[in-house]
Amino acid sequence: MKRAQVATGNGLQSVADAVNRRQDPRPPVEFGLMYSAQDRSGEILMGDGMVTDLSHHGLGIRGNTSVTPGMELTIFLYLPDGKDPLFVMEARVAWTSGRRFGVEILKMNLRERNRLRHFLCSNLAHSD
């Protein structure tokens, strides 16, 4: 059986190894997001897609615009709470596999971090 591989900042590694580095479990979710980044040439990239899993420290994304490991993104999460999008000031792409990729959350303001914490607690409570 062939093992799936992902591109990371340290080269290729198996999907299982990339998942095992996570600090927190990431329950599956599905809601929209938008992301933007600046590529090496200075061009602004804009993309949208779906969040596939989420934790306090990172998220999985299925997007429509290619990114590369190490790229820094700004993200707007459209949580299903009907409020304004949750703003992630800075996140780093940890791995990519086709149109799927994972990011580590680096910087959020306190209000947004508390909102994410509340959403996760509510979401996890309903998944039991």
Residue span of the structural domain in which 12 resides: 5-127
Confidence of residue 81 (pLDDT cuts 50, 70, 90): confident
Decide if pLDDT at 55 tops 60: yes
DSSP result, 70-88: T-EEEEEE--TTSSSPEEE
CA gap 32, 43 in Å, rounded? 24
pTM of the predicted protein model: 0.77
Q: Which CATH number do you get for residue 113?
A: 2.40.10.220
Total tally of structural domains belonging to the chain: 1
- Mean pLDDT for the chain overall: 84
